[in-house]
Amino acid sequence: MPDDFERMWSDLAPVGRSSRTGGYFRQPFTAAEEELRAWFVEQCGARGLRVERDGFGNVVGWWDVGSGPALLTGSHLDSVLDGGAYDGPLGVVSALAALDLMRARGAVPARPVGVSVFAEEEGSRFGLACLGSRLATGATTWEQARALTDRDGVALGDVTSGEDGRLLEGVGTYVELHVEQGRDLVDRGAAVGVGSGIWPHGRYRLEFDGEANHAGTTRMEDRVDPMLTYAFTALAANKQARLAGQRATFGRVAVEPNGTNAVPSRVTAWMDARCETEEGLADLVAAISGQAAERAGRDGTTLVVTAESVSPAVGFDPDLAAALAADHEGGDWPVIATQAGHDAGILAVAGIPSAMLFVRNPTGVSHSPAEHAEVADCLVGVSALADTLERLAR
């Protein structure tokens, strides 16, 4: 007998959880994430789903019914560093629960239905967001990805084989349910919504080089301190993004040699930038880079900016979104945009018609241990997903 939503949710609760912060460390190909993957395979087994995997870390459990283009639903089980419980796992657990609900209702889909788990969606270990779905769709090749390294220098090619299992062959539509990462649904008073699209966004590595020196004996005017150039840049990025009504964040910094009593030789900082349009994103990054370079000139430091990954604007099929949102008990579901990246965006760009459902998040907080959704809303999400799959699988 398959486990229900709340039972599955409590199974996952302790996996990869920090006793200090209450947040999750579920980085790909670590013990925590392998445990989650094993749990998923077990859940597929309990439902008689045929499990298929590839060498990128992606897994699909297939309900082999009907014929024709398959319907895929799911999300990811990895987390950001010290992340919340919901970003990713809510979509996977809801997919399994929705399938149970469909079976309990006696629904017999006319098309095969798969539940997917994509690897390294957050890019928290190897730096490239949506790595599993990028590899599965060919948006990134194994040749490009295999040499990516984590913070300890371990290469992706050392932890997984890179064998392409062609998991997405025959997939006609993808639906990803996700916790909302803002407060749109709270403001609209709705438990669930449908995604209209994803803002373009990118990750940029900024390397500031200066001259290592003694923190006590070096006169202030004699220093070539890359920390100052970085600090100016972080402030400039915040100001530029505010002026443009967009988003720019420095959330990760590495200082060399990272000693209290030394002027650093190098500061590497990663900027996450997101805008409503691709043009706006290019302009924002150019403005910040230009100001940083100008400041580097004044500080005597040097700066190299590298775009590590840039994701285009995604517009989900508007007819599909409108059809999914229409005619529900209690009225239509709202259609909302998101600033967060998702595997559904990668599949949509690859030409697979995709849609997203969002579940209300009372505070809008995400990528934090405080991320939350009420059980009652999660259960509305499960039934919304089951309704959606039934509509699509007719």
Q: Which is nearer to ligand GLV, 61 or 345 (CB)?
A: 345
User: Which of Mn ion, ligand GLV, none binds 115 (CB below 5-8 Å, type-dependent)?
Assistant: none
Count helices and strands (H / E) in the chain. Answer: 12, 15
Q: Which is nearer to ligand GLV, 120 or 122 (CB)?
A: 122
CB of 24 to Mn ion, least distance (A): 11
Q: State the residue number with the nearest CB to Mn ion.
A: 87
Distance CA 333, CA 354 (A): 17
CB of 71 to ligand GLV, least distance (A): 24
The residue among 76, 94, 115, 84 whose CA lies nearest residue 13 is: 84
171 strand-pairing partners: 70
CB of 339 to ligand GLV, least distance (A): 7
3-state secondary structure of 79: coil
The residue among 44, 91, 59 whose CA lies nearest residue 192 is: 91
Site string for ligand GLV, 315-354 (x = CB under 6 A): -------------------------xx-------------
Decide if 25 contacts 32 (C-beta within 8 A).
Answer: yes
Tokens 């019914």 belong to 65
Q: Which of 3, 54, 120, 122 binds ligand GLV (CB under 6 A)?
A: 122
The piece of 29-37, 83-91, 106-114, 136-144 that touches Mn ion (CB under 5 A) is 83-91
User: Which of Mn ion, ligand GLV, none binds 89 (CB below 5-8 Å, type-dependent)?
Assistant: none
Decide if 195 contacts 344 (C-beta within 8 A).
Answer: yes
CB of 130 to ligand GLV, least distance (A): 8
Decide if 384 contacts 357 (C-beta within 8 A).
Answer: yes
User: For the CA atoms of the chain, what is the radius of gyration?
Assistant: 22
247 strand-pairing partners: 274
User: Which of Mn ion, ligand GLV, none binds 127 (CB below 5-8 Å, type-dependent)?
Assistant: none
Q: Which is nearer to ligand GLV, 12 or 340 (CB)?
A: 340
CB of 345 to ligand GLV, least distance (A): 9
User: Which of ligand GLV, Mn ion, none binds 129 (CB below 5-8 Å, type-dependent)?
Assistant: ligand GLV
356 strand-pairing partners: 176
CB of 390 to Mn ion, least distance (A): 24
Evaluate the CA torsion angle 326, 376, 58, 273 in order and state its sign: positive
359 strand-pairing partners: 179, 192
Evaluate the CA torsion angle 282, 283, 288, 293 in order and state its sign: positive
Amino acid at position 121, single letter? E
Tokens 């007819």 belong to 319
The piece of 80-88, 126-134, 224-232, 236-244 that touches Mn ion (CB under 5 A) is 80-88
88 is a site residue for Mn ion (CB under 5 A): yes
CB of 80 to Mn ion, least distance (A): 6
123 is a site residue for Mn ion (CB under 5 A): no
Decide if 61 contacts 158 (C-beta within 8 A).
Answer: no
87 is a site residue for Mn ion (CB under 5 A): yes
Decide if 229 contacts 301 (C-beta within 8 A).
Answer: yes
78 is a site residue for ligand GLV (CB under 6 A): no
Among positions 312-371, residues that touch Mn ion (CB under 5 A) are none
Give the 3-state DSSP-derived string for 118-140, with helices as H, strands as E and coil as C. Answer: ECCCCCCCCCCCCHHHHHHHCCC
Q: Which is nearer to ligand GLV, 43 or 116 (CB)?
A: 116
338 strand-pairing partners: 198
Q: Which is nearer to Mn ion, 162 or 182 (CB)?
A: 182
Q: Which is nearer to ligand GLV, 226 or 341 (CB)?
A: 341
CB of 343 to Mn ion, least distance (A): 8
Site string for ligand GLV, 124-153 (x = CB under 6 A): -----x------------------------
CB of 356 to ligand GLV, least distance (A): 12
Distance CA 262, CA 215 (A): 5
Name the strand (E) or helix (H) holding 292: helix 278-299
Question: Which positions lie near Mn ion, rule CB under 5 A?
Answer: 87-88
Question: Which positions lie near ligand GLV, rule CB under 6 A?
Answer: 122, 129, 340-341
